[in-house]
Amino acid sequence: MSEGWLERRALKVLQNAEVPLFLFTLAAEEIDLVADVSRIGRDEAGKLIGYQRPEKQKHVKQILDYLDSGDVLFPNGLILALPPETRFKSSRGPGTSDGLAVSGTLEIPISPEGEGPRPAWIVDGQQRSLALSRTKNRRMPVPVAGFVTQDLDVQREQFLRVNTVQPLPVGLVTELLPEIARVPSARMATRQLPSALVDMLNQDPDSPFYGIVRRASTSTDNKHVAVVTDTGLVEALRESIESPSSLLFPYRNIATGTTDTEGIRRALLAYWGAVRQTFPGAWGLPPTESRLMGGVGIRAMGRLMDRVMAHVDANAADAREQATAELALIAHRCRWTDGTWEDLGLTWNDLQNTPRHISALSNYLVRIYLSERMRRR
């Protein structure tokens, strides 16, 4: 190790000309010197930062117990995003390349004596890296694959791609999706726009959901007020976006791939603002106290939205008032915080966030709404 640089023999894999990829080893004690974990969170402006989930202490301890047990075979390597200052010097002479990789020396910039920020980010293997940094076997060689980029978008994309064997938490994936340019799968792509809309609803001061949606980046201090789980809201919006007969579908131009996000914003603020206005005593409470704020309530009211907003001019100045007048037709039949749902035979807290209850409640609300509207004519 030279002053300010960590040198390692390495292979440069001839795979992607724009993003250099290297295979090398680090000693266990060097993990903390070179790499750090980019935790998911939000900065003061509300912008998403990082991508890694919180550490799992039990998992880390299991790995550490194995590393400290004696003779160890540990082929599970790490994937690092290396800084652009990283240098690679090819070896001289014949036989340094076989057409697939080139042998040489990799030089990674490091701060003297570990001071200052670490140069690399851990894309995969954060639990392993924590265990390796604590093991008694300090000089154990650890296999590493490192690609050179400072592009956070590339790091997040690779993070999602490598975490397929043990699925990532749904909330973490959905929150990362709006930040990814190339979504790893078609299934994930269907949640990209809905997740971006949830971000908007959670960060827009004019939104009834402002600050109350719980996402993977929600800080511990704010979790007590973030009573709405993002996955239920994402699914409610996804259904409306994908169904041709639903409210949000017309706001997307399939031919050009464009979306009228401002139009969607107006429609969502009008409807959900009306929901809050119609049920003020049930809004903003944890799901244990109000089923309106749980997945079953959000999904059911999301399906009712498509029916209600068909009779509302979302561009009108009084759109919320129009939606509130429509919701008044079903308000007296709702039991979000107490009582029993007529026809369903369920008390308010018997409703669960299951497909059967979501479907039953959705059908009930739509049926009551259509019946009352017919009677009003």
User: Is the residue at 174 inside a domain?
Assistant: no
- In angstroms, the CA 268 to CA 248 distance is 9
Domain membership of residue 13 as a residue range: 5-160
Q: Name the least confident of 71-80, 105-114, 172-181, 336-345.
A: 172-181
Do both 196 and 254 map to the same domain? Answer: yes
**2 or 108: which carries more pLDDT confidence?**
108
Question: What integer pLDDT is reported at residue 219 of this predicted model?
Answer: 78
**Residue 30 identity:** E
Q: Enter the tokens of residue 324.
A: 């509130």
Q: Which of 160, 193, 210 is a domain's end point? A: 160
Question: What integer pLDDT is reported at residue 50 of this predicted model?
Answer: 47
User: Is the residue at 177 inside a domain?
Assistant: no
Do both 274 and 320 map to the same domain? Answer: yes
Q: Write the CB contacts of 335 (distance below 8 Å, at least 6 apart in sequence).
A: 341, 347, 348
Burial of 39 (0-12, 13-18, 19+ CB in 10 A): middle
User: Is the residue at 365 inside a domain?
Assistant: yes
Q: Which of 99, 128, 160 is a domain's end point? A: 160
User: Is the residue at 170 inside a domain?
Assistant: no
Do both 364 and 216 map to the same domain? Answer: yes
Burial of 27 (0-12, 13-18, 19+ CB in 10 A): middle
**235 or 172: which carries more pLDDT confidence?**
235
Do both 127 and 256 map to the same domain? Answer: no
> Would you say how long the chain is, in residues?
377
Do both 156 and 215 map to the same domain? Answer: no
Q: Helices 295-308 and 319-331 sit at what angle, rounded to 10 degrees?
A: 120
Given a cut of 60, is residue 211 above it in pLDDT? yes
Question: What integer pLDDT is reported at residue 19 of this predicted model?
Answer: 84
User: Is the residue at 90 inside a domain?
Assistant: yes
Tally of structural domains, the chain:
2
Confirm whether pTM is higher than 0.85. no
- In angstroms, the CA 228 to CA 294 distance is 6
Residue 9 has phi, psi (to 5 degrees) of -65, 140
Question: What integer pLDDT is reported at residue 172 of this predicted model?
Answer: 54
User: Is the residue at 318 inside a domain?
Assistant: yes
**Residue 49 identity:** I
Do both 124 and 190 map to the same domain? Answer: no
Q: pLDDT tens across 166-202, in order?
A: 554 555 555 555 554 554 455 555 667 888 888 889 8
Q: Average pLDDT over the chain, rounded to whole?
A: 83
Q: Enter the tokens of residue 290.
A: 């109000």
Do both 357 and 214 map to the same domain? Answer: yes
Do both 122 and 214 map to the same domain? Answer: no
Do both 210 and 132 map to the same domain? Answer: no
Burial of 141 (0-12, 13-18, 19+ CB in 10 A): exposed
User: Is the residue at 168 inside a domain?
Assistant: no
Do both 250 and 332 map to the same domain? Answer: yes
Question: What integer pLDDT is reported at residue 165 of this predicted model?
Answer: 45
User: Is the residue at 166 inside a domain?
Assistant: no
**59 or 118: which carries more pLDDT confidence?**
118
Do both 191 and 144 map to the same domain? Answer: no
Q: Which of 144, 160, 176 is a domain's end point? A: 160
